[in-house]
């Protein structure tokens, strides 16, 4: 009878140890699941930030392209203005010469 009691006590001890291990594994499983969820949330956040950075980069590239186009147009218009100013300046000099000749002819007459 003593041997049966000892075997039963050993079996109960083993069952309690197994139950404790199962409880520990269950808790560990919950911690792993929580860590996986946190990792998933972090991965989604990283992806969202990368997408936002790419969108911002595209906007900046577009703005730089637009600015470059505007600068090219402005440069072309400045060349036209410069050419027009030179032409007006030349015409002004010719007009001065004509007025001087006219005044000289009037004074000579």
Structure tokens at 1: 């009878």
Q: What does the pLDDT average to over 3-27?
A: 89
22-28 average pLDDT score: 92
Q: Where are the alpha helices (DSSP H) in 1-109?
A: 2-108
Predicted TM-score (pTM) of this structure: 0.52
Torsion of CA 78, 83, 88, 90, to 10 degrees: 140
Query: Mean per-residue pLDDT for 62-83?
Result: 92
Half-sphere exposure of 92 (CA within 13 A, CB side): 6
Q: How far apart are CA 86 and CA 80, in angstroms?
A: 10
Backbone angles phi, psi at 45, to 5 degrees: -65, -45
The whole-number pLDDT of residue 33 equals 94
pLDDT at 34 over 80: yes
């Amino acid at each position: 009878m003593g041997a049966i009691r000892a075997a039963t006590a050993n079996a109960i001890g083993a069952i309690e140890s197994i139950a404790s291990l199962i409880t520990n594994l269950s808790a560990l499983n919950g911690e792993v699941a929580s860590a996986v969820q946190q990792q998933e949330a972090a991965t989604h956040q990283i992806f969202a930030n990368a997408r936002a950075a790419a969108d911002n980069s595209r906007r900046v590239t577009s703005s730089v392209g637009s600015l470059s186009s505007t600068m090219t147009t402005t440069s072309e218009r400045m060349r036209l203005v410069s050419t027009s100013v030179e032409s007006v300046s030349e015409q002004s000099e010719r007009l001065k010469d004509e007025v001087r000749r006219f005044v000289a002819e009037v004074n000579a007459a």
